[in-house]
Structure 1
Amino acid sequence: MELRQLEYFQMVAKTNNITRAAEQLHVSQSTVTLAIQKLEDELGILLFDRSQKQLSLTAEGRVFVQKVSDALNLLQDGVAEINSYLQLKKGTLKVGVPPMIGSYLFPEILASFNKLYPALQLSTVEESSFDIRQLLERGELDLGIVNLYQPSPLLETLVISKEEIVACLPLSHSFANYPAISLMDIKDEPFILFKEGAYNRRIILDECKKHGFEPNILVASDQIETMKGLVEKGVGVCFLIAAIANKGINYVSIPLADPLYLDFGLAWKKDKYLSRAAQAFINFITELKLSTPKEK
């Protein structure tokens, strides 16, 4: 049974005439006749009563035409919905965002993207960059904003921004007025770091190892405001990207003498099918990069 046969049958049922049906369908009369005959042969019943001058549906034909109409309507609805996705009038994206980048960079990206594609919905999952990579590799996210430290071979990536890591110290700290400090300067301070799995934490620990010491990690947290609050109270020092750290007023943020950076980028699984919505977001990020002035 072919879709074309059902469409021909439906038109003949509407017009009660093969000639008029053929005209409406822009095919020959013999094509419609053959299609109806094949359909009846396959079903093993007569769909039309041909004893009169004008065709009329048999009892079985009346039942079948209703089912065919329902099926064709559902199909048309499906095609219309797919076209909505293709034209980006509908769609959902599941995007992973790490806490540090989500608090300052993603809202701006989301707002700009939403202006271009107001019909697309973005569902965000806030996890560490490490966890987002794993979710992407398992195909559980469409896209993710991740730290590009130690790239995954399973993911395609597009660099979004390069962010400098700075040290956050209490206002009363003896190094508070220094233009820059080294990790060795604060090696005896309690460290407030992100939890296991965060690349920010890995970078700091790797750098400490290069300098030959293991820091005293007093607190591990994924809550940026908690980390800032602990620094303000003089509990220890933490390390945040400058764009976030510089927003604080009750502590100081100081560049490291040997600068450390985090590269953030958009990532997606290499062999995963990309919806039109996902492709639109990737293109948007690409255009955003091209229109952003280069750092000097």
Structure 2
Amino acid sequence: MEIRQLEYFVSVVETSSFTRAAEKQYVSQPCITHSIRKLEENLGVDLFDRSQKKAVLTDEGKLFYTRACKLLHDMQDTMTEMNDLRTLAKGTIKLAIPPMIGSCLFPYLFTSFQTQYPHLTLNVYEEGSFAANRLIEQEELDLGIIILPEENLGTLETVRLTEQEILLTVSRNHPLAKAKSVTFADLRQEKFILLKNNFFQRHAVLKRCQEEGVEPQIVFNSGQIETVKSLVSHGVGISFLMRMALEGLVELVGVPLNPPIHVQIGLAWKKGRQLSPSSRAFINLVSSQTENALSLPMERTVSR
């Protein structure tokens, strides 16, 4: 019994015609007829009732059709699995990651991924979470490690990785550096240094300002996290960064906001999109390794 015989048989059943089955399989009708005859000889039963004008199954044929469909399905699954294993020997993933998340999580995750899958390539695009969402929806990028939207967009599949707190970020010499917590009312006279419009943190901060009736004095907008850190450390103004972005820094202090702002970090990809084996491997690794990355000991951390 050959796979081709099973495919011909299933085509005849699904089209109810030897002629249409031949057209579907791009072979001649005699080829289909001969193949079915050989199959019946091997099985020792008639699969079709030839007293009918259409291709009508016998009872034995109905049972065999069920078995043949399962065999072909299992064979296709096996071929897919083998192809996946072969594909993992090479491949490219286009990944979006905001600079703040990237600088903290990505070095550890990339090292771990490269160790397990040395032949796969990660092309990383530093984008804010809002821009990353759009690029993923447009299938310009495969995956994103982003701040998950508060409301499900309906266009993304997501996996939550961890939660982070956004802290007021000031220089260690700033008067608020020793505060246990601050409200936005305490920040009315401060100069704000914010990330650009495609970053979630900016929207979260401006939303809280609006809720508390505070008009922020924005003196600088940047898409570079290191620029923001440098300006704050030199006393140019204040900013708002995730707790993990302040780990290991002595020149910056993180002060909790009251009430706090928490964000969910997760993996995202377009809903309904067929993921490559490379992307699935990356999702599995990141899902299992993120907490390990965040638990690595950091030195010289200053945060309250």
TM-score relative to the length of structure 2: 0.66
CA contact (8 A) 2:167 2:243 kept: yes
Match of 2:214 in 1: 213
Report which of the two structures shows the higher radius of gyration computed on alpha carbons. Answer: 1
What does residue range 102-181 of structure 1 map to in structure 2 within 5 Å? Answer: 102-150=102-150, 151-181=152-182
CA contact (8 A) 1:86 1:276 kept: no
Q: 1:125 is aligned with what amino acid? A: Y
CA contact (8 A) 2:105 2:293 kept: no
CA contact (8 A) 1:246 1:253 kept: no
Q: For the residues of structure 1 that align with 2:146 and 2:219, how far apart are their CA atoms?
A: 26
Match of 1:92 in 2: 92
Shift of 1:152: 2.2
Q: For the residues of structure 2 that align with 1:97 and 1:145, how far apart are their CA atoms?
A: 5
Structure 2 CA distance for partners of 1:178 and 1:197, relative to 1, 3 Å: same
Deviations 1:164-185 (A, max 9, x none): 1111113332222112212211
Match of 1:288 in 2: 289
Q: For the residues of structure 1 that align with 2:84 and 2:275, how far apart are their CA atoms?
A: 16
What does residue range 32-43 of structure 1 map to in structure 2 within 5 Å? Answer: none
What does residue range 1-296 of structure 1 map to in structure 2 within 5 Å? Answer: 83=83, 86=86, 88-150=88-150, 151-288=152-289
Matched residue of 1:127: which SS? coil
Q: For the residues of structure 2 that align with 1:198 and 1:165, how far apart are their CA atoms?
A: 13
Q: For the residues of structure 1 that align with 2:247 and 2:122, how far apart are their CA atoms?
A: 28
Q: For the residues of structure 1 that align with 2:175 and 2:288, how far apart are their CA atoms?
A: 45
Shift of 1:85: 5.6
Match of 2:48 in 1: none
Q: 2:124 is aligned with what amino acid? A: T
Q: For the residues of structure 2 that align with 1:184 and 1:290, how far apart are their CA atoms?
A: 34
Q: For the residues of structure 2 that align with 1:100 and 1:290, how far apart are their CA atoms?
A: 17
Q: For the residues of structure 2 that align with 1:172 and 1:292, how far apart are their CA atoms?
A: 30
Structure 2 CA distance for partners of 1:184 and 1:247, relative to 1, 3 Å: farther
Deviations 1:117-136 (A, max 9, x none): 11111111111111111010
Over aligned residues, Cα RMSD in angstroms?
2.6
CA contact (8 A) 1:163 1:261 kept: yes
- In percent, how many aligned pairs have the same letter? 39
Shift of 1:141: 0.8
Q: For the residues of structure 1 that align with 2:286 and 2:147, how far apart are their CA atoms?
A: 16
CA contact (8 A) 2:167 2:240 kept: yes
Structure 2 CA distance for partners of 1:292 and 1:189, relative to 1, 3 Å: closer
Ranges in structure 1 where 5+ consecutive residues have no aligned partner: 5-30, 35-78
Q: 2:177 is aligned with what amino acid? A: A
Q: 2:249 is aligned with what amino acid? A: G
Aligned residues: 218
CA contact (8 A) 2:109 2:290 kept: no
Structure 2 CA distance for partners of 1:290 and 1:107, relative to 1, 3 Å: closer
CA contact (8 A) 1:84 1:90 kept: no
TM-score relative to the length of structure 1: 0.67
